[in-house]
Amino acid sequence: MTAQTKVILPKKAKGARPYFFEDPALDKMLAMLMGLVGEVSVLADRVDTLERLLVRHGVLGEGAVDGFSPDTAIREQRDAKREQLLRNVLRIVAQDYEDPDRGNPNDESYQSVVRQVEQ
C-alpha cells in the first residue's frame, strides 16, 4: 500500500456489541465515556502541536502557556464556560434530580399521554 492509497473503513464494527455489565445502560455510558476520552486525547494532542509550532516559529517563548496567569476577567469567562459545559453534560442527571418520576411509566403525565395515544 502506498502513501497515496486511501483506506475506507466501515462505519460500524462487525459482530455483536460486547457487554460488560448486567445493565445495558452502564455499557452505553462506558461507550460514551470512552468516546469522550478519545476526543479529549485528540484535543490534547492538537493543543500540544499548536504550542510547539508557536514556540518553533517564535510566536511564544518556551513555557509561555504554562506560565500564563489569567486575569480576573478571563477566569470569570472560563468559569462561565465551564459551568455551562457541566450543565449540558449533567443535564439528564439534573432533570432526574428535579423530577425523579419524569418519564417513569408510573408517572401520571406519562400515563396521560399513553391514554391519549390509545384513544
Q: Quick one: cell of 28?
A: 452505553
pLDDT tens digits for range 43-76: 999 999 999 999 999 999 999 999 999 999 999 9
Q: Is 99 a domain residue? A: yes
In a domain, 30, yes or no: no
Q: Which three cell numbers stand for residue 22?
A: 448486567
Q: What is the pLDDT of residues 86-99, one digit of tens each?
A: 888 888 777 766 76
- Are residues 20 and 30 in contact, defined by beta-carbon separation less than 8 angstroms? yes
- Count: domains in the chain: 1
Alpha-carbon span 29 to 44, nearest angstrom: 22
Note down the domain range covering 68. Answer: 46-118
